[in-house]
Amino acid sequence: MISVLVADDSALVRRLVTGVLNDTPDIRVVGTAVNGKQAIEKADELKPDIITLDIEMPIMDGLTALRELRRRHPSLPVIMFSTLTERGAAVTLDALASGASDYITKPSGAGSLAQSLDSVGAQLIPRVRALAARGRRAARRPVVPAKPATPLTSLRSRGPVQVLAIGSSTGGPDALSKVLGSLPERPRVPIVIVQHMPTVFTAMLARRLDQLGPSTVVEATDNQPLQPGTVYIAPGGRHLEVQRRGMGVFTRLHDGEPENFSRPSVDVLFRSVAAAYPGTALAVILTGMGHDGRDGSAAISATGSAVVAQDEPTSVVWGMPGAVTEAGIANAVLPLEEIGRYLGQALLAGKAQRPALATMEGRRT
């Protein structure tokens, strides 16, 4: 049974979230809190598996409470409740940078109670299960000293890397900031990214990532020519593809059906990358729930391009990179900090070179 502490100053939201979770057979709400101070006290007392934390609360807000929870309980998963507004997006990204595991958006209030329940349940229950499972695996994993790295087989590629494609979800904003922020110089290729996020949030994410490193980061618009050194992030709620026309490659946004319950979808982007850049792409799958990106990575790999996956210990959720790894698609499975260093070398050199460290799969238990 997964135990959850629900912290929100709204009695209605507390009842709604508690009802949704308690109606789920493997989840139980063990306590509620009406402000951040109370959430910290009850976390110490009840030792829940997960905390849901509202951002705006009296006495102590959710962001302040989160930072204290991270100090006291570094590995305790915390899911933030956010509003679908620019301010809500900004504070949510602050929370993710401060160690929140994930977030969900509150219902707008325009729909019925049943619609609100469905919205909360669809977002919250999979996250609670995924984060609780990761926390329990981490608690059981013995602490062992790092093993010396052993060489990896060189990543295969038919030619110089011409594009970097990245897919991420849960834990992705922080992972993307580390990867893009670690690039030592402006890359010589364009970078296209799908991060599972709603509208408003992706524009805010692009602005923040733009401040971190040498690349120019933008939220993609339709029919943009891909330029070296520019990062294009799929806008929330729209699929991003790339299409080769004449001598150039251009973005294409559309409102096709969600894939893997997601729009934008990593698979949609990666399939288009495989078609536009056969044998000359480099794909990276970062932390995230589910398996979006697995089939698209297979399409990229089938053309002779390389695929790199984040390892389990450094992933918030090892769903997406785990699916790629377990399908035998990943050419390398690396910790997050090594992905950033490897990409810096590979992109600046214009080709995929041997990573500095070996796959970390041998450390998993």
Residues with Cβ within 8 Å of 362's Cβ and at least 6 positions away in sequence, in order, are 147
Produce one character per residue of 95-110: b if its CB has 16 or more CB atoms within 10 Å, e if not.
bbebbbbbbbbbbeee
Active-site hit among 8, 102, 292, 311: 292
Q: What is the CB neighbour count within 10 angstroms for residue 42?
A: 19
Question: Is 54 known to be catalytic?
Answer: no
Residues with Cβ within 8 Å of 330's Cβ and at least 6 positions away in sequence, in order, are 285, 297, 307, 308, 309, 321, 324
Active-site hit among 8, 174, 196, 265: 196
Question: Is 254 known to be catalytic?
Answer: no
Task: Report how far residue 164's alpha carbon sits from residue 191's, in angstroms, rounded to the nearest whole number.
Answer: 5
Task: Report how far residue 113's alpha carbon sits from residue 143's, in angstroms, rounded to the nearest whole number.
Answer: 46
Task: Find the Cα–Cα–Cα–Cα dihedral 129, 135, 140, 145, rounded to 10°.
Answer: 140
Torsion-angle region of 156 (φ positive above 0: left; ψ -120 to 50: alpha; else: beta): beta
Question: Is 196 known to be catalytic?
Answer: yes
Residues designated as active site = 169, 196, 292
